[in-house]
């Protein structure tokens, strides 16, 4: 396991934060300064600022994110974060982001390799959203959403789009661009007034209320690994 992933798994910092610790010379592996390309084996001894660290038990949690909560581990503005809604040990971080006003399915984990793969567009992990719109979309607008929309950073991939009500649609995408659903709907003249992610990688929110979470089953974790092309434990 790469050193930054090991530190993230130990709950020391995010991978990016771990890279900064390593570059600052604060991480030792078997008594020697760790490098960004250092790999850690089970027998190796890792220390940060002179204190030994060890991998935490893997955790995979599904949270029903409520509105008004930010998808970060900490917030300089003092807003409530998603990590405050789940247990503090072992330390987990969100996979991807949902806007503060967006509700729905959010995965949190300390499995850095799995999280990285789930977020990578190569694996086309499905995300299903329910979007309330300012106005009823035309058939042409629905066709454009399904075929792909030209945005500032390029054309979106084909999506699945269906009507759930006069001003309510379901949109299934497998990309992870910032504000993608809102931008797509805005581009066809139907701004989003409320956005909810009903499913993520096949996981839905059955039995959960806003602000509540549950641990994934062994089978669900294995399915996520299969979807992300990572079959090992």
The whole-number average pLDDT for the span 111-139 is 90
**pLDDT tens, position by position, 193-211:** 999 999 999 999 999 999 9
User: Residue 103: exposed, middle, or buried by beta-carbon count in 10 A (0-12, 13-18, 19+)?
Assistant: buried
The active-site residue out of 49, 99, 101, 139 is 99
Residues in a beta bridge with 17: none
3-state secondary structure of 141: helix
**In Å, what is the CA distance from 222 to each residue of 104, 217, 227?**
22, 9, 9
Question: pLDDT over 70 for what percent of the chain?
Answer: 98
Query: Residue 106's pLDDT is what?
Result: 97
pLDDT of 233 over the 70 cut: no
Please report the domains of the chain, with CATH numbers, ordered by start residue.
3-53 (3.10.290.10), 60-121+203-227 (3.30.70.580), 126-200 (3.30.70.1560)
pLDDT of residue 230: 57
- pLDDT tens digits for 49-83? 999 988 778 899 999 999 999 998 888 889 999 99
Rg (CA), the chain: 20
Q: What are phi and psi of 195, to 5 degrees?
A: -130, 135
Mapping DSSP to helix (H, G, I), strand (E, B) and coil, where does residue 139 land?
helix
Residue 149 — φ and ψ, nearest 5°? -115, 140
Residue 6: which H helix or E strand, with range? Answer: helix 3-9
Q: Is 99 a catalytic residue?
A: yes
């Amino acid at each position: 396991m790469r050193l930054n992933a090991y530190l993230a798994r130990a709950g020391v910092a995010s991978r990016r934060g771990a890279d900064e610790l390593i570059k600052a010379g604060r991480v030792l592996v078997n008594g020697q300064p760790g490098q960004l390309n250092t790999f850690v084996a089970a027998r190796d001894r890792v220390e940060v600022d002179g204190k030994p660290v060890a991998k935490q038990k893997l955790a995979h949690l599904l949270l029903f994110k409520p509105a008004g909560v930010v998808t970060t581990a900490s917030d300089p503005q003092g807003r409530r974060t998603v990590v405050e809604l789940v247990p503090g040990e072992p330390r987990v971080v969100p996979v991807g982001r949902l806007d503060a006003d967006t509700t729905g399915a959010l995965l949190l984990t300390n499995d850095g390799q799995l999280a990285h793969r789930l977020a990578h567009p190569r694996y086309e992990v499905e995300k299903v959203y329910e979007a309330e719109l300012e106005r009823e979309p035309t058939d042409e607008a629905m066709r454009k959403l399904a075929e792909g929309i030209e945005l500032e950073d390029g054309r979106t991939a084909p999506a699945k789009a269906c009507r759930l009500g006069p001003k309510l649609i379901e949109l299934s995408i497998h990309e992870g661009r910032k504000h993608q659903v809102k931008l797509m709907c805005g581009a066809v003249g139907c701004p989003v007034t409320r956005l909810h992610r009903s499913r993520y990688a096949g996981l839905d929110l059955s039995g959960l209320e806003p602000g509540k979470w549950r641990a994934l089953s062994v089978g669900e974790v294995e399915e996520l690994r299969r979807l992300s092309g990572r079959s090992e434990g």
